[in-house]
Copies of this chain bind each other. A is one copy, B any other.
């Protein structure tokens, strides 16, 4: 028996689909049934049900985007930093292993080989980095699970969302029976406002950057696989191996979906943050070696994106245009 928290959200729904499709014995717990934000209520529920595993897909992302967390600071902190502690303590109290939907958004940039040393490069959009990415893309690597977050309250600037997610990870570091599954920019074939491929098509202008990204269903399957394979507990970057630039993805969208529109880019960070965004955005490359070494199979990023576009299911009444 698996307990799923947060099944009403974008990531939670994907976990629920996977659990259904794979015939798992699971319970999706809503706050109407049990107020699982309350330690005692959650402990009592877990003690009565005795599940083998719990998935926490509940959190606070902000709508329509992370800028909302700059206003809803208390909700962001309670959802992303404090609620994970409730789950952790309840699971430890009852003796249940669990997995937490964490985020790679606590990093900015990537790692560059420099005279044999790993050097952190917090911005992959500088002219020098663009040149390196174009001429020697293999010289750019992702952050590992052992790297310290560099886009957090401890390493400002950061968004309030990223700060709250980093605090959540930090406070779970000593939970011996927790997986921390880092998601990055989810997408799949189903058009929806949270889908990266939908967002790119709806933006007035596109922000060109370099990112690791997670096919949502690949992500959920990989997370569950880690548990099923008995991988050691701890942090895992769960993205499709590799990275993409926004231009590459836009080019794929153009090639496969043949959209009527063309795509403009924000000229630079200044214009983007002046016009479209309130708070700094995380753009980063993550290293998936640990995930792969654990035995989890997951396809590369380009295959995952192309597959999503080739089986694209547009929303029937897609009219709204969102900025960022």
Contact A167–B93 (Cβ < 8 Å): no
A167 to B160 CA separation, bound complex (whole angstroms): 15
- Asked, given contacts A85-B85, A86-B89, A93-B93, whether A74 binds B39 with beta carbons under 8 Å apart, the answer is no
* Most chain B CB neighbours (cut-off 10 Å) among A156, A170, A171, A174: A171
Task: Please choose the segment from A20-28, A75-83, A180-188, A196-204 that sits at the chain B interface, where 4 or more of its residues have CB less than 8 A away.
Answer: A75-83
In the assembled complex, A154 has its CB within 8 A of some CB on chain B: yes
Known: A78-B171, A89-B90. 11 other contacts (CB 8 A): A38-B174, A39-B88, A73-B156, A73-B163, A74-B166, A74-B167, A77-B153, A82-B85, A85-B85, A89-B93, A93-B93
In the assembled complex, A50 has its CB within 8 A of some CB on chain B: no
Contact B170–A74 (Cβ < 8 Å): yes
A3 to B126 CA separation, bound complex (whole angstroms): 55
- Report the minimal beta-carbon distance from A199 to chain B, rounded to whole angstroms: 28
Contact B92–A171 (Cβ < 8 Å): no
A82 to B166 CA separation, bound complex (whole angstroms): 13
Nearest residue (CB) in B for A38 is: B174
Contact B171–A82 (Cβ < 8 Å): yes
Q: Which 9 A-B pairs have the closest CB atoms?
A: A73-B153, A89-B89, A74-B153, A74-B154, A39-B89, A85-B85, A38-B174, A93-B93, A82-B171
In the assembled complex, A40 has its CB within 8 A of some CB on chain B: yes
Contact B40–A92 (Cβ < 8 Å): yes
A38 to B90 CA separation, bound complex (whole angstroms): 14
| Oligomeric state, in copies | 2
- Report the minimal beta-carbon distance from A173 to chain B, rounded to whole angstroms: 10
Contact B78–A167 (Cβ < 8 Å): yes
- Report the minimal beta-carbon distance from A27 to chain B, rounded to whole angstroms: 22
Contact A82–B167 (Cβ < 8 Å): yes
Contact B89–A167 (Cβ < 8 Å): no
In the assembled complex, A211 has its CB within 8 A of some CB on chain B: no
Which label, helix, strand, loop or mixed, suits the secondary structure of the A interface?
helix
Q: Please, what's the 1-or-0 string for A150-192, where 1 marks a CB less than 8 Å from any CB in chain B?
A: 0011101000000100110011001010000000000000000
A152 to B77 CA separation, bound complex (whole angstroms): 13
Residues on B with beta carbons closer than 8 Å to the beta carbon of A73: 153, 156, 163
A85 to B88 CA separation, bound complex (whole angstroms): 11
A81 to B76 CA separation, bound complex (whole angstroms): 13
Residues on B with beta carbons closer than 8 Å to the beta carbon of A176: 40
A38 to B89 CA separation, bound complex (whole angstroms): 10
| CB interface residues, A 49-93, toward B, < 8 Å | 73-74, 77-78, 81-82, 85-86, 88-90, 92-93
Q: Please, what's the 1-or-0 string for A124-156, where 1 marks a CB less than 8 Å from any CB in chain B?
A: 000000000000000000000000000011101
* Most chain B CB neighbours (cut-off 10 Å) among A90, A153, A156: A153
A176 to B82 CA separation, bound complex (whole angstroms): 18
- Report the minimal beta-carbon distance from A83 to chain B, rounded to whole angstroms: 9
A266 to B152 CA separation, bound complex (whole angstroms): 36
- Asked, given contacts A38-B174, A88-B39, A89-B93, whether A77 binds B74 with beta carbons under 8 Å apart, the answer is no
Contact A74–B174 (Cβ < 8 Å): no
A170 to B78 CA separation, bound complex (whole angstroms): 9
